[in-house]
Structure 1
Amino acid sequence: LWNGVLPRVQSVDMRQQVATCDDYKRDVTLALIDYDKKYPDQLNNFLALPTKEESERINELQANLDTASQEL
């Protein structure tokens, strides 16, 4: 059942997985490994990482989003 019908979570050593990534993605992934917040299922999920340009755009918008969220 777990090998085909239902999704499964596979634990891997992310430090080893990112050894061949470019510097930016490796640094971001290594920072996420020790991220203290959890997802609702309490598992460490390693989601797709944004590119450098996407991260810069997110950082540009984040301050305004945080301010609007606090005001609401």
Structure 2
Amino acid sequence: MRAAPHDQLPSAALPSDPATETYTFSTLSVQIAIAIISDTTASHLVWEYVAHAIVATAREASEARETKNS
């Protein structure tokens, strides 16, 4: 059985809910570095969180544009 991502990576590197968290790219870079340095075998899991952060950031930007245009 595979451990959950939060069991493999340091908590400082993970949002509590990656789908709703947004990050600046510099903050995200630091979190990725912490995760990779802490556990290189879990680096594939980092990309899952990167994808969630990018989607959340894009969603937030889209909502901000919609709010601005209305």
TM-score range, shorter chain: under 0.3
**Structure with greater contact order relative to length (CA < 8 Å, sep ≥ 6):** 2
In the superposition, the TM-score normalised over structure 1's length comes to 0.27
Higher alpha-carbon Rg: 1
Compare the two structures and name the one with the higher helix fraction.
2
In the superposition, the TM-score normalised over structure 2's length comes to 0.28
